[in-house]
Amino acid sequence: MSDFQERLAATKATLDKIAADYAPAVFASSLAAEDMVLTDLILRNKLNISIFSLETGRLHAETLGMLDKVKETYGTEIRLFKPEAAAVEAYVSQHGLNAFYDSVEMRKECCRIRKVEPLKRALAGNKAWITGQRRAQSATRTELAIQEDDATHGLQKFNPLADWSEEDVWHYLRSNNVPYNPLHDKGYPSIGCEPCTRAIQPGEDVRAGRWWWENPDSKECGLHVVDGKLVRIKQAV
Ligand code: SF4
């Protein structure tokens, strides 16, 4: 079996284990390439894992278009969690619509309102959650484990693609005709909110287009961070 086939088999086994032993479990999809691999594996195999996205109110039209693509392809609607309208209004009226460019603090506050708080609601009542993070994606993810004890949210966190390469992801998507965000063909290997993501040049780090005005060490949205620090929890068995 090739290395890729071994990684794929291990990923399928991890998803099967989550569905069997950690119900109710949820997959947090950003609708990017890695997340479409997991979406395909979950929906094609009818696994007992529900899928949601954080609709921040600042996503690209192409990303929102993926919601329809998923529905057309699999007949499944992805559940959306949105920020509290009052919190967004207060931030915008006090600081401005794009205050996240002004400082890391303002950026983290925007992410807290639009992503971190809705994520807490999305995870409430579940035993496990799943992400499409990979170790090779950035300097902040090199120690990523496949399974972590997420003490912040009080549940298990799984990163089934932690050891996948970018080539693995595209090999899976292309060989299984999985739909993907068209921004990936326009120089966006990593996709977040529209004002905080830009295309990168060949040879640049895959996450260089995310919060490009910040130091690489601060580039996480808070979904995987506690008190301003990346959470690197000891790997569970
Ligand atoms: S990525 Fe940008 S627009 Fe999106 S929540 Fe964070 S700071 Fe706000």
For 163-220, the pLDDT digits (tens) are: 999 999 999 999 999 999 999 999 998 899 999 999 988 888 777 888 888 877 666 6
Q: pLDDT tens for residues 142-166?
A: 789 999 999 999 999 999 999 999 9
The pLDDT value recorded for residue 190 is: 85
Distance, CA 126 to ligand 1 centroid (Å)?
25
Sign of torsion, CA 92 94 95 96? positive
Please work out whether the CB of residue 83 comes within 6 Å of at least one atom of ligand 1.
no
pLDDT number for residue 222? 65
CA–centroid distance, 204 to ligand 1, in Å, is 22
Torsion of CA 58, 63, 66, 67, to 10 degrees: -10
Active-site residue, 196 included: no
Give the nearest ligand 1 atom to 110 CA: 8
Q: Give the pLDDT band of residue 231 (cuts 50, 70, 90).
A: very low
Task: Quote the pLDDT of residue 233.
Answer: 34
